[in-house]
Structure 1
Amino acid sequence: MSQSINAIALLLAHIENTHFDDLPDSTITACKTFILDSLGVGISGSRVPQVSKLKHAVNQWGEGKQAQVWVTGEWLPAASAAAINGYQIHNQEWDCVHEPAVVHPMAVILSSLVAYAQAHNLSGKQLILGVTLAVDVATLIGQCVTSSLKFFRPSVCGCLGATAGMCAMSGLKGETLANALGIAYSQISGTMQSHIEGSSMLAMQIGVNAATAVRAIDMAQAGLEGPKDILQGPYGYFHLFEDSYDLAPLRDKVGREFQIEVVSHKPFPTGRAGHGTIDGLQRLQRSHDFTAQEVAKIDVYAPPLINKLVGRPIKSGMDASYAKLCNGYVAACALLKGDVGVTDFSPDCLADPQILALGGKVFTHLNQVSDPNALAPVSVAVTLLSGQQFQIEIADVLGSPQNPLGRQTQLVKFRAACESAVKPFDEHNIAFLIKRIDQLEQIPNINHLVEALVSNR
């Protein structure tokens, strides 16, 4: 029976016994692919106005010259830099997702690991190993959950994964590793309330947990102890944060399938739960050549999680955080503009009467799927004013491992992200950064990568 497994013991052994030379080429390639993607969206996230407010708050937490804020380059304590960079990765809903786990695996993880690696002069190989194991820990925990989201799994699982990844990068094992995870578990946070309300605090939950992971390592290395039975104990993760679980995914996959290889890109800066709608509408529009002005109604049939996450009504006065998680809004943008980009969430767009009117014609319904964590399949049905109807069912949404973005499309996204930064990157800087990441395992010091993340280098 899977519940008889000691989950934390399996993960601890995986962290301790996996080395860079154990990683297949496919895992290293996938890791670099999603490091590139996540750095790109983190660079773009510098454009969001709330970043300056966060910087003001973080500056009250103390000074230090351990790690840098991406794009603008300020030197801060590692935990503070991780908080800002984590927020920048997730604040536009453009970062990758592990769909079965319902975890954005790179937001907490990459922001904290890069800050820690920069502070401790770690290498590109160490970063790749750390990211790979961090993603395993975060997503294998998430995949074991059989109940619906209550806490914000990207932040809470992400923090545990990030802590594991920093230990792997640094070679921390035994009691120090176990204590670090226990200390992190004692501080993990983030709920779905911010998601439901469309609050900008949703992305800040990522930043808070990135900082928490860095501090957990510091405390463990100082000799502080943490609880040990953090997953299956009476107040462990599976009993306190979730309603039900099955350890079979952890039992079957740990050490056999590196989870970074099954992560999904997000082609559009919206919740992943809205991607099926956008993908379906784009396919239907290409096939049937109708215009937004001809549309009478759009019906989306989707699993419970999609209804929960993006089935909210479009409304006047909404902000960008709400709109990114609104099926009606993203559908209207896709039909009217042919795509959805970061500029579609400006105040002018959010108040556009044409978008609001068309978004009001979008209705999200439950389909036959009962899995509370499923993000597919999605059916999109368009009814025109003429009475014509078009429908498509999508089993594999664009960006998923079964329907992946090709390398050139990945680079188009990356370039667009870098060009949209608060201090836009030019083509020379973008090409330099791409080359650095392509050669990441050859970099002896992560500071050589971070210098390429500052736009005025």
Structure 2
Amino acid sequence: MSERTAVQRFARFAAGCRDLGLPERVADDVSGRFLDVIGNCLAGRAEGGPGRAVLDTVRDWGGTPQSGLIGECDRLPAPQAALVNGTLAHTLDFDDTHLPSVLHPSASVVPAALAVAEETGASGARLLAAVAAGIEICNRLGMASYLPSIRNSLFFEKGQHATSICGTLGAAAAAALLYGLDEDGVADAMGVAASMGAGILEANRTGGTVKRIHCGWAAHAGVTAAALARAGITGPPTVLEGRFGFFRAWLDGTCDTEAMLGGLGERWETVRTVYKPYPSNHFTHPAIDCALRLRADGLDPADIASVELGLPLPTLRTVAEPRAEKVRPRTAYHAKFSGPFTVATALIGGGGLGVHLDDFTEETLADERRLELAAKVECVADERASEIFPAAFAAVLRVRTTGGALLEHRVDSSRGGPGHPLSRAELLVKFRLNAARGLSAGQVDKLAAAVEGLADAPDVRGLFP
């Protein structure tokens, strides 16, 4: 095979991140992603639920203590630690999003890389390089599945969770770098991981907690694949583009090779990954922005007769359907995937950067005032928002008051998105709010300082006690 295959090109790129170093802007960007994931994990730990269930399960498995658990004192084998931390990173749906692939890369890659870095005693610089490589690979695999003709990822059209499927390969590449594997070894790790990625999205529509462990499983599978490659298990060189490879198996052979590999190492999709200011499905964010603006302009929820929420057509199945489930969500987590409920929440509640974790609890779920307002929200496809999607998330909110007035606000790029990125100061506010749910103020300060100094740390073990 004279020309390098796709996985071999990814492996060469990844090895270069580790061996040649990162551009300064990429290294700085990745430290922010690390900060975001740690904060999300601490908030997820305080929430309990699936994170606690996964932790209890893997503690029963036992094994050699290798890697730390965020917010806990004990250590577990690296794959199990990655499973716990990855679950916590995604459990609140507060993790970053890449566009137009619409996947959450950091929640699987960062926990996988951290687990192996602690197992091997890697430096902070090596950890950041591994995370950058893993996120970039994850994003580009997602981009390869985007179809301009339907303005959506084919993964999502098929009900597949691109985050966990692509995240498994990104996590494997990051872990392989930290295990010290060469280009061939990184390619093998990804080749093995391609047989391990999975995830379906029905829980977004009708409930269930399984989606909240998807990033944990991707991190776990990525670390396991890299460890197996280190032990001698090999993967097929044509694992991505082959007749029975990744894209044929998942996407009927659909693959935008230019989006996947063009400008690799020069055009960084990692730095285009956007942060979430609100702990809900990213499709709801422009609607929240609109509601917060109308509220700031003086709209009284008691004066609302009806609400029309215009969204991109491909997002309606996630945040608007089935309607009965969206206007009266079954669980606080399910409410995060409801256009009507999040609009009502933004109009009535709102903490943190506008809407925060305390707006999604069993108490707010039973708040009849919110539910009555949610029932007034009709979700429709908006042509302009559909045209913009998924390069950015757009929406329009039209409110008819009891006095007959029509109020309208439109956003073409949600807060935190490409047109309105969160500043480092805003990201730090988000981190502090999240971390404070499990740590004292002094501990939060020390943790933030540790992340800021990560690039200079000679050994990450013990950096996050």
- TM-score w.r.t. the length of structure 2 is 0.91
Partner Cα distance (2:436, 2:219) in 1? 25
Instruction: Determine the structure 1 residue equivalent to 2:440.
Output: 426
How far residue 216 of structure 1 moved from its aligned partner, in angstroms, is: 0.6
Q: How does 1:361-372 map to 2 (within 5 A)?
A: 361-368=376-383, 369=386
Are residues 1:215 and 2:234 paired? Answer: no
The alignment yields a C-alpha RMSD, in angstroms, of 1.9
Deviates more, 1:406-415 or 1:169-178: 169-178
Partner Cα distance (2:30, 2:15) in 1? 19
Are residues 1:162 and 2:171 paired? Answer: yes
Partner Cα distance (2:251, 2:320) in 1? 23
Partner Cα distance (1:230, 1:136) in 2? 18
How far residue 370 of structure 1 moved from its aligned partner, in angstroms, is: 5.9
Partner Cα distance (1:263, 1:143) in 2? 12
How far residue 388 of structure 1 moved from its aligned partner, in angstroms, is: 1.4
Q: Is the 8 A contact 1:303 1:374 kept in 2?
A: no
Partner Cα distance (2:208, 2:19) in 1? 39
Instruction: Determine the structure 2 residue equivalent to 1:30.
Output: 29
Paired AA for residue 203 in structure 1: R
Q: How does 1:336-351 map to 2 (within 5 A)?
A: 336-338=348-350, 339-351=354-366
Structure 2: gaps (5+ residues): 148-152
Instruction: Determine the structure 2 residue equivalent to 1:331.
Output: 343
Partner Cα distance (1:6, 1:372) in 2? 31
Partner Cα distance (1:371, 1:9) in 2? 34
Paired AA for residue 25 in structure 2: S
Instruction: Determine the structure 1 residue equivalent to 2:150.
Output: none
Partner Cα distance (1:44, 1:292) in 2? 30
Instruction: Determine the structure 2 residue equivalent to 1:177.
Output: 186
Instruction: Determine the structure 1 residue equivalent to 2:211.
Output: 202
Deviates more, 1:164-173 or 1:146-155: 164-173
Paired AA for residue 42 in structure 1: C
Paired AA for residue 275 in structure 2: H
Paired AA for residue 241 in structure 1: W
Q: Is the 8 A contact 1:155 1:205 kept in 2?
A: yes
How far residue 20 of structure 1 moved from its aligned partner, in angstroms, is: 6.2
How far residue 194 of structure 1 moved from its aligned partner, in angstroms, is: 2.5
How far residue 64 of structure 1 moved from its aligned partner, in angstroms, is: 2.1
**Structure 1 ranges of 4+ moved more than 6 A:** none
Partner Cα distance (2:243, 2:134) in 1? 24
- TM-score w.r.t. the length of structure 1 is 0.92
How far residue 317 of structure 1 moved from its aligned partner, in angstroms, is: 6.1
Instruction: Determine the structure 1 residue equivalent to 2:367.
Output: 352
How far residue 315 of structure 1 moved from its aligned partner, in angstroms, is: 4.4
Aligned residues with identical type, % of pairs: 25
Per the alignment, in what secondary structure is the counterpart of residue 447 of structure 1?
coil
Partner Cα distance (1:124, 1:56) in 2? 29
Instruction: Determine the structure 1 residue equivalent to 2:270.
Output: 260
Q: Deviations over 1:21-55 (max 9, x none)?
A: 54222111111111111110111100223222222
Instruction: Determine the structure 2 residue equivalent to 1:388.
Output: 405
Per the alignment, in what secondary structure is the counterpart of residue 390 of structure 1?
strand
Matched residue count: 444
Q: Is the 8 A contact 1:5 1:251 kept in 2?
A: no
Paired AA for residue 82 in structure 2: A
Q: How does 1:146-161 map to 2 (within 5 A)?
A: 146=147, 147-148=153-154, 149=156, 150-161=159-170
Q: Is the 8 A contact 2:393 2:417 kept in 1?
A: no
Paired AA for residue 435 in structure 2: C
Q: Deviations over 1:314-364 (max 9, x none)?
A: 344611221111111111111001332112222111111111111111122
Instruction: Determine the structure 2 residue equivalent to 1:306.
Output: 315
Q: How does 1:33-432 map to 2 (within 5 A)?
A: 33-50=32-49, 51-145=51-145, 146=147, 147-148=153-154, 149=156, 150-243=159-252, 244-286=254-296, 288-312=297-321, 313=323, 314-316=326-328, 318-338=330-350, 339-368=354-383, 369=386, 373=390, 375-420=392-437, 424-432=438-446
Using a 3 Å threshold, how does the CA distance of structure 1 residues 378 and 248 change in structure 2: closer, same or farther?
farther
Deviates more, 1:261-270 or 1:387-396: 387-396
Per the alignment, in what secondary structure is the counterpart of residue 253 of structure 1?
coil
Per the alignment, in what secondary structure is the counterpart of residue 235 of structure 1?
coil
Partner Cα distance (2:29, 2:439) in 1? 24
Paired AA for residue 446 in structure 1: V
Per the alignment, in what secondary structure is the counterpart of residue 63 of structure 1?
coil
Using a 3 Å threshold, how does the CA distance of structure 1 residues 392 and 242 change in structure 2: closer, same or farther?
farther
Structure 1: gaps (5+ residues): 452-457
Instruction: Determine the structure 2 residue equivalent to 1:454.
Output: none
How far residue 12 of structure 1 moved from its aligned partner, in angstroms, is: 2.2
Using a 3 Å threshold, how does the CA distance of structure 1 residues 406 and 164 change in structure 2: closer, same or farther?
same
Partner Cα distance (1:281, 1:372) in 2? 20
Partner Cα distance (1:38, 1:438) in 2? 14
Deviates more, 1:165-174 or 1:442-451: 165-174
Per the alignment, in what secondary structure is the counterpart of residue 448 of structure 1?
coil
Q: Deviations over 1:289-312 (max 9, x none)?
A: 111111122222222332122113
Paired AA for residue 402 in structure 2: L
